[in-house]
Amino acid sequence: MKIKVYGSSGCEKCSSLKEKIEEVIDELDNEKQLKVEKIEDMAEMASKGIMSTPAVSISGEVKFRGRLPSKEEIREELI
Amino acid sequence: MVFKEISDFIVSALGLTGKAAAAVDFWIYDTLKITFILLLVILGIGYLRTYIRPEDVRDYLQDKNVFVGYLGASILGIVSPFCSCSTIPIFLGFMGAGVPFGMALTFLVTSPMINEAAIFVLFGVLGWKLTTAYIVGGITVGMVGGFLLTKLGFQKYAKSFKFGDNSCKINSTTKDRLKQAYAEAKDILKSIFPYVVVGVGIGAIIHGFIPRNLITKYLTGTLAVPAAVVVGVPVYTNIMGVIPVVKSLIGKGLPIGTSIAFMMSVAALSIPEFVLLKKVMKKELIAAYATIISVGIITIGITLNFLF
């Protein structure tokens, strides 16, 4: 399962969201070998139809956009 | 207001008098006041903003007549998020969905130049006249800039992106929205606060120590307006950091138009902004964008100096 966090460089919320997701993965003992990647490329964001950042996709599907999901919400998506 | 009492108390507790007292008083009072206004506005607007989805605005702008469309785009620029890092994806979304190029540009120009928190802070610090001039001036520069760049045929220098679609749902409960607003307010305040402290500090030094005649002698001519714009470009800071500086400059006799021109150029034109734009525009368009905005800001500044 590949997790991508979308947000251009300079977007502080986006970087902090990546860290938050990594924390959740650690708490889940990372059984599924999850990896989080930060996407700063505008073209890739556009191709996913993302207008508001931060956004998160899991296995290619956009799950959150334009807001900071809570740890519980992230956990639900990851289990 | 209670802030005045707090700053008076600290100044007298420190035993300061004269220029130092005036500077420290300015520093404490304005930092408290601006932070307080920011907190309220960012929380309030942050909550309201959860109801405005860029996707809806995009759909709204698609089939509007020219004037309404440009005006709508610039107003959207005002309420859009602070960081230009988050306005560029919206810009691309507009372009991808067929919102006219000029309107998308108007949004992009207005967004860093005017924002809702700056409006409230300006109003609290400098009064309604200057605030109105700032808003009307900013919207005018944004609308005319977007319109002209289209008419001059610069659309071909925008890089094209394929814009996809997703069916992701967005939160909707009140509790969710409040939580979003709180998280956003915390985030924004954290990133703006240092600018406020430093900006008010510079304002305080000007307020306490720069003699009035230095400004009235050298900075009241018409040439001071383009000079203010040129000085404003390399200065990269949040507009919240500029407001207190401008406040004390106006107090020392800097004309209103010149002040507003300086504020706008600091906010709208900066090297990091150009670097970001480089990802979605070719350099011809960035150069034209910078030129048209500069000329617009200078015109607004000179006009306001003439009016006030």
- Give a yes or no: residue B167 inside a domain: no
- Give a yes or no: residue B166 inside a domain: no
Write the pLDDT tens digit of every residue in B10-40.
888 888 888 888 889 889 999 999 999 988 8
User: Which band of pLDDT confidence, cut at 50, 70 and 90, is reported for residue A34?
Assistant: confident
| % of chain B with per-residue pLDDT over 90 | 35
What is the domain class of A2-78 according to CATH? alpha beta
Q: What is the mean pLDDT of residues B102-118?
A: 88
CA distances A43 to A63, B88, B128, B154, B218, Å, are 19, 11, 42, 20, 48
Outline where A7-70 has alpha helix (H): 12-27, 42-47
Contact criterion met (CB below 8 Å) for B162 and B289: no
- Give a yes or no: residue B125 inside a domain: yes
Q: What is the mean pLDDT of chain B?
A: 87
- Give a yes or no: residue B164 inside a domain: no
More confident residue, A3 or B86: A3
- Tell me the sheet residues that pair with A62: A57
- Enumerate the domain spans of chain A: 2-78
Residue B86 and residue A53: Cβ atoms within 8 Å?
Answer: yes
Residue A49 and residue B54: Cβ atoms within 8 Å?
Answer: no
Edge-to-edge strands of the sheet including A35-39?
A35-39, A2-6, A55-58, A61-65
First to last CA, chain B: 29
Write the pLDDT tens digit of every residue in B69-85.
899 999 888 887 656 66
The one catalytic residue among A11, A34, A62, A68: A11
Q: Which residue carries 């001071």 as its tokens? A: B224
- Give a yes or no: residue B163 inside a domain: no
Q: What is the mean pLDDT of residues B92-105?
A: 87
User: Which band of pLDDT confidence, cut at 50, 70 and 90, is reported for residue A54?
Assistant: confident
The one catalytic residue among A3, A5, A14, A36: A14
Is B276 part of the contact surface with chain A (CB cutoff 8 Å)? yes
Is A27 an annotated catalytic residue? no
Write the pLDDT tens digit of every residue in B176-195.
788 878 877 887 888 888 98
Chain B residues in contact with A72 by the CB 8 A cut-off are none
| Residue A57: strand, helix, or coil | strand
User: Which band of pLDDT confidence, cut at 50, 70 and 90, is reported for residue B277?
Assistant: confident
Please give the tally of structural domains in chain B: 1
Instruction: Check whether A53 has a pLDDT greater than 90.
Output: no
CB-nearest to B89 from A12, A45, A67 is A45
ipTM over 0.85: no
Q: Among B122-126, B198-202, B235-239, B244-248, which stretch is predicted with the lowest mean pLDDT?
A: B235-239
Is B53 part of the contact surface with chain A (CB cutoff 8 Å)? yes
- Give a yes or no: residue B182 inside a domain: yes
Task: DSSP letter for B210, please.
Answer: S
Domain of B53, in residue numbers: 2-158+173-307
pTM of the model: 0.84
Q: Among A15-29, B79-93, B208-222, B286-300, which stretch is predicted with the lowest mean pLDDT?
A: B79-93
Is B97 part of the contact surface with chain A (CB cutoff 8 Å)? no
Q: Which element (helix H / strand E) includes A4?
A: strand A2-6
| Residue B87: strand, helix, or coil | helix
Nearest residue of chain B to residue A69 (CA atoms): B180
User: Which band of pLDDT confidence, cut at 50, 70 and 90, is reported for residue B290?
Assistant: very high
